[in-house]
Amino acid sequence: MHQEIYNFSAGPAVLPKPVLAQVQEELPDWHGSGMSVMEMSHRGPEYMGIIAQAEADLRALLAIPENYRVLFLQGGASQQFAMVPMNLLAGGRAAYVETGIWSRKASSEAKRFGEIDVIASNAGVAGHAVPRQESWQLRPEHRYCHIADNETVDGIEFDFVPELGEVPLVSDASSNILSKPLDVSRFALIYAGAQKNVGPAGLTLVIIRDDLLGQAGADVPTMLNYAVHAEHDSMYNTPPTFAIYVAGLVFRWLLQQGGLPAMAEINARKAAALYAAIDGSGGFYRNDVAVANRSRMNVPFFLHDPALDAVFLREAGERGLLQLKGHRLLGGMRASIYNAMPEAGVWALVDFLHDFARRHG
């Protein structure tokens, strides 16, 4: 009997099986064109239709207002750590909120381009929580305020959307974009690496409000200027064509599932089941994140005895539960349960957690 495999990788991550099946079917000949998507000119009518449909479906999923541009870029979210200040700082100061490894990387990179104020940080805070907004040292002159809405490594997710007045809000949403409804109008710029909840590695989404375009100085390289990419509809150079094609299939799959409200309900059930297994283990497993800020996408946890880690991973692999090893900077375990992870996969992991604790506790 074929064993079901469940991939809990934090990224590149699991993709919906119907999407993979469609990619497989269309790979050698897309819709009778005689070409694979990988062979098409990005300026040909076939591919122009693919990217236009992908953008239309993304706009439908997120109800993106008309005064926002959607950019399909390369370089990953890490390149956005530089592109954001290069385009928005404009010789002023910016505010950063540090809630984990990736937001600290973002603020560190931004310091290369100007004055950066870390206005709140959870470093050393017991419980690993998001700092409450009343503690933030935001100033009206800040050109923007940057957050990481979900920390992929630390498993910390914002439980609120900051209210910043006239200060533009910038969000790294790489690991929780499309996992729930989002009011895009409350953000000035949202960026996300694709390889978690959107599609394969190689694509980065940027959703940017029109009034933030054109602020980059003359010394900003052409390829790192948002306005250039917006002016050319993400076609200034050859975009990551295959990754955009697959992302478009994921967007269509999400719409077929009932959109983001339906996905939010499923994701809430998955996360609740997994955290219940951890919390109900009598201390055999633990998660250190404050309950209000526990990520629904990335669930780090630790065994009470680290000596059991290797045994846990080996036995999990034998059950078809893959990629559960925690990030090298944090250790322990991590289960990433993005949109494409079926509920059956989470329940298989929950059953294994119970069984492993019973046999080794």
Contacts of residue 31, Cβ cutoff 8 Å, sequence gap at least 6: 46
For residue 194, the SS3 value is coil
Catalytic residue among 57, 149, 154, 172, which?
172
| φ, ψ of residue 235 in degrees (nearest 5) | -120, 25
Q: The tokens of 116 are what?
A: 């950066």
For residue 77, the SS3 value is helix
Q: Are 22 and 217 in contact (CB under 8 A)?
A: no
E-only strand ranges, the chain: 6-7, 68-73, 93-98, 115-121, 142-148, 150-151, 156-157, 169-172, 189-193, 204-209, 285-286, 298-303, 321-322, 333-336
Catalytic residue among 30, 196, 253, 270, which?
196
Contacts of residue 32, Cβ cutoff 8 Å, sequence gap at least 6: none
Cis peptide leading into residue 12 (ω within 30°): yes
User: Using CA atoms, how far apart are residues 182 and 61, in angstroms rounded to an integer?
Assistant: 9
Respond yes or no: is residue 196 known to be catalytic: yes
Separation in Å, CA 50 to CA 22, 38, 54, 106, 185: 14, 12, 6, 32, 26
Catalytic residue among 102, 149, 154, 325, which?
102
Q: Catalytic site residues? A: 102, 172, 196
